[in-house]
Chain A
Amino acid sequence: MIEVQDLTVRQGTFTLPKISFRIERGQYAVLMGKSGTGKTTILEAICGLRKISSGKVWIEDVEVTNWSPADRNIGYMPQDLALFPTLSVKENLAFALDIRRVPAKKRDEKVAFLANMLGLEHLLKRRVQGLSGGEAQRVALGRALSFDPSVLLLDEPLSALDAITHTTSQKLLKDLNRQTGVAVLHVTHNQAEADALADICIRLPEVIQSEL
């Protein structure tokens, strides 16, 4: 689970409004807001990649507000996916497991499991450059899930996909949530996407100008 309490973050000359929410294990939450309301900034702050002004973040009932991103056990999938271009699909999926020095046999089993679940078996040896939008998205998803994170943060994961891939990917995300039980926080500005996926919907208020 993840709980965010009175979180505020500065974004340039703006301070984003306070935000609080709690997502239990197995729940699928959608964070909605207009462009420029700081959705990506909030995700980065929860990951520990951006300094927060005030507030607290709990993961599995442990306060991690000042922890390093590496210790938070959060699976993060940015909007541009940010796959590692010098690594193969398999190496991308195994990256977090290699960092954790997981034994080779166990690591390979996990990669095979993820590849099977996401339909990536035939792509494992490929470099990530030539992948289609849907394939790249599934690799990023597998990479974020590989180390069994407590929570999965998805930044507009379906925005760059064509209509058919969008529908299949939407189903894949919901299935993953149900199968693995991972808490998901999915950022979007698409109401239909939110209606199809959300157990809970968090709406971001408009940004107000900082008094500073």
Chain B
Amino acid sequence: MKTLRQSHTRKWRDGIFFLVMGGLSSSFIVLIILLLIADITFTSFTEFRNALAKPEIQAAFKLTMASCTVAAIMSVWVATPLGYILSRYRFIGHRLIDTIVDIPIVLPPLVLGLSLLILFHQPFPFSKWFGEGFILDEFLRQTLRFPVSFSWPAVILAQFTVSCAFAVRTMRVTFDQINPRAEDVARTLGCSRAGAFLRIALPQAMRGMITAGTIAWARALGEFGPILVFAGSTRFRTEVLSTTVFLELSVGQLDAAVAVSLLMVAMAVVVLVVLRAIGAGLNG
């Protein structure tokens, strides 16, 4: 008969495993917590309140909330059909479109802002179709009386360009995880492709849409480079909180810069908690 023996070294090895995994994981968490503590201890509540009482910072707060929300809604609006097409269909150019979607993610932010500026202020790429020397910004400003660059729409467009790319990635994964056979069955039951998408795929993708909206909103909040280049940072006009931090730093107002940074952290936490609660509600 075989005699069973307990291995003591295996217990030790398990302990080392948890130590290594926990140590590596906690290093990142500790870094984030230390960053927040450093910000909080640097400023006082009075300084925080004084900074937030400034009318220019209040204006920046309102524009940030509005522009991030509009950019997030636009991102989900565009990312949902694009994510669905990339997930469900294979066609010529599929891989190319998949790569193009990632360009705003990998492009340096300043380059993205510069590209937006060039698109709107240089003769349009297909100007022959619109008349020689057609410049998009002039057309929008003079003909439609809707100025974009160096105005609030530029803030939203700069935020949308990056946040939509993240939203598309999220929606693509969302639809990849939804069984396409349910849509096939819906079509045999009398649905068109649009009907199967609207009645079957979309209700299942609601949590993914909330997640995509959250990621897009958070990304828009942190957007800085493209806004600075394409929209500028004019106080009371195109200043958002990320550019406020830069403006306050550039005039030596470190206290105000830290106060605004903390406000942005608080905004991000509130939005993440609310959207996650909505997502959990949908799941329930």
Within 8 A of B (CB), among A37-65: 44, 47-49
Q: Inter-chain contact count A-B, CB under 8 Å?
A: 60
Chain-B contact segment, one of A28-36, A93-101, A204-212: A93-101
The answer for the CA separation of A49 and B191 in the assembled complex, in Å, is 12
Given A86-B203, A86-B204, residue A78 in contact with residue B181 (CB < 8 A): yes
Q: Knowing A84-B200, A86-B204 touch, does A147 contact B181 (C-beta < 8 A)?
A: no
Find A49's partner among B179, B182, B184, B190 (CB 8 Å cutoff): B184
Contacts of B204 in A (CB 8 A): 85-86
- Chain A residue numbers with a CB within 8 Å of B189 are 70, 95-96, 99, 143-144, 146-147
In angstroms, Cα B198 to Cα A86, docked, is 12
Contact A72 B188 (CB under 8 A): yes
The distance from the CB of B102 to the nearest CB of chain A, in whole angstroms, is 28
* Bound CA span A80–B200, Å: 16
State which size class the interface on B falls in.
10 to 19
Contacts of B184 in A (CB 8 A): 44, 47, 49, 69, 76, 78, 82
Task: Assess whether A68 is interfacial by the CB under 8 Å rule.
Answer: yes
Of the residues A72, A82, A99, A143, contact of B191 by C-beta under 8 Å: A99
Chain B minimum-CB-distance residue to A99:
B190
> In the complex the two chains form, what is the Cα distance from A74 to B184 in whole Å?
12
Per-residue contact bits, chain A 72-92, to B (CB 8 Å; 1 contact, 0 not): 101110101011111000000
In the complex, what distance in Å separates the CA atom of A48 from the CA atom of B189? 12
B235 → chain A, closest Cβ, in Å?
47
- Shortest distance from the beta carbon of A89 to any chain B beta carbon, whole Å: 15
B186 at the interface (CB under 8 A from A): yes
Q: Which residue of A lies closest to B195 (CB)?
A: A99
Give 1 or 0 for each of B172-203: 1 = CB within 8 Å of chain A CB.
Answer: 00000001011011111111100100011001
A72 to B187, CA, bound (A): 10
For the complex with contacts A69-B187, A70-B189, A96-B190, 16 further pairs of A-B residues with Cβ separation under 8 Å are: A49-B188, A69-B184, A74-B188, A76-B188, A78-B184, A80-B179, A82-B181, A84-B186, A85-B182, A95-B189, A95-B199, A99-B190, A99-B195, A143-B185, A144-B189, A146-B189
Interface residues of B (CB under 8 A from A): 179, 181-182, 184-192, 195, 199-200, 203-204
